[in-house]
């Protein structure tokens, strides 16, 4: 099998990026574009909650554990690699690994390096690799993910959000990341979009390499699923917000 196609998700906090990430996984599962490996690279990790699964150890936990618990006769590198492999959560059609965040001082350098190696090997076993990033997207370069199939940037229905989405998309150049296609999804839109906002979105897209994926309306069913901690994977495809998201994904991902 060839390396997995990488779908990178990005967007500033509060845009519903992680919800869209969960819906991307739902789309891939329903189209039988499996297996999928999902990496929650946002320090405020909650993708697992939207997927309805519990997380044991995160990469941040493993990093802290490695400080004091390296078994005798095993290098820190080998121990951490073993721990990362054990931390991969297995589900039907997809697996999940959660980066989390370090609890103490120091950086992720060694942890990222080891995880990058693990992901490189694992990528041959998956059809798609989905990375739910923080807004800065530094994890893409840290994990050596430099050839992105689709970058999906999620904005809220505001001029500032759309401008931020453009800045996020532009970051790929400074990170030396090659992206086949960049897609803007404007999420949680009101019933009546202000004309000025529509013009701003059109102007932003015309002045960037973003393609306008579409507008996803506010969804009461999604809100209720999230409030009840129910898996977004089980939400009906005709629910508000879900139907439009699936249409966008069908257009830009299809069935490659």
Q: pLDDT of 121-175, one tens digit each?
A: 888 899 999 999 877 777 777 777 889 999 999 999 999 999 999 999 998 888 8
Q: What is the per-residue pLDDT across 5-33, written as a single tens digit (0 to 9) for each?
A: 999 999 888 899 999 999 999 999 999 99
For residue 175, give the nearest of 129, 153, 143, 205 by alpha carbon: 143
Q: Collect all residues with Cβ–Cβ distance below 8 Å to 88 and sequence separation of at least 6.
A: 37, 95, 96, 97
The neighbouring-strand residues paired with 95 are 37, 90
Read off the pLDDT of each residue in 104-111 and give the average, rounded to a whole number.
Answer: 58
At 97 the three-state DSSP class reads: strand
Q: What pLDDT digit, counting tens, does each position of 34-66 carry?
A: 999 999 887 777 899 999 998 877 777 777 776
Instruction: Give backbone dihedrals phi and psi of 144, rounded to 5 degrees, phi first.
Output: 60, 35
Contacts (Cβ under 8 Å, ≥6 apart) of 131: 6, 7, 8, 9, 38, 39, 41, 139, 140, 143, 145
Single out the residue of 156, 151, 28, 21 nearest to residue 94, CA to CA: 28
In 3D, which of 7, 74, 1 has the Cα closest to residue 38? 7
Distance CA 18, CA 78 (A): 32
Burial of 46 (0-12, 13-18, 19+ CB in 10 A): middle
In order of their start, the domains of the chain are: 5-252 (3.40.50.300)
Q: How many CB atoms lie within 10 A of CB 163?
A: 13
Per-residue model confidence (pLDDT) at position 16: 93
Q: What is the pTM of this model?
A: 0.91
Task: Flag whether pLDDT at 220 surpasses 60.
Answer: yes
């Amino acid at each position: 099998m060839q390396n997995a196609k990488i779908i990178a998700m990005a967007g500033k906090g509060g845009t519903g990026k992680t919800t869209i990430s969960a819906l991307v996984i739902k789309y891939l599962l329903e189209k039988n574009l499996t297996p999928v490996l999902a990496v929650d690279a946002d320090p405020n990790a909650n993708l697992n909650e939207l997927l309805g699964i519990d997380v044991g150890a995160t990469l941040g936990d493993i990093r802290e554990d490695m400080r004091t618990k390296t078994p005798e006769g095993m290098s820190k590198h080998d121990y951490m690699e073993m721990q990362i492999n054990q931390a991969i959560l297995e589900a039907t059609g997809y697996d999940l690994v959660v980066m989390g965040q370090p609890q103490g001082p120091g950086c992720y350098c060694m942890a990222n390096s080891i995880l990058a190696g693990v992901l490189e090997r694992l990528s041959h076993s998956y059809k798609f690799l989905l990375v739910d990033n923080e807004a800065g997207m530094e994890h893409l370069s840290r994990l050596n993910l430099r050839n992105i199939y689709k970058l999906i940037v999620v904005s809220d229905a505001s001029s500032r959000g759309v401008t931020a989405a453009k800045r996020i998309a532009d970051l790929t150049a400074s990170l030396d990341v090659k992206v086949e296609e960049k897609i803007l999804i404007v999420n949680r839109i009101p019933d009546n979009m202000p004309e000025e906002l529509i013009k701003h979105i059109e102007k932003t897209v015309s002045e960037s390499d973003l393609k306008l994926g579409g507008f996803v309306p506010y969804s009461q069913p999604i809100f209720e699923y999230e409030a009840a901690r129910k898996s977004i994977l089980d939400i009906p495809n005709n629910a508000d917000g879900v139907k439009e998201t699936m249409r966008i994904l069908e257009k830009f991902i299809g069935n490659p």
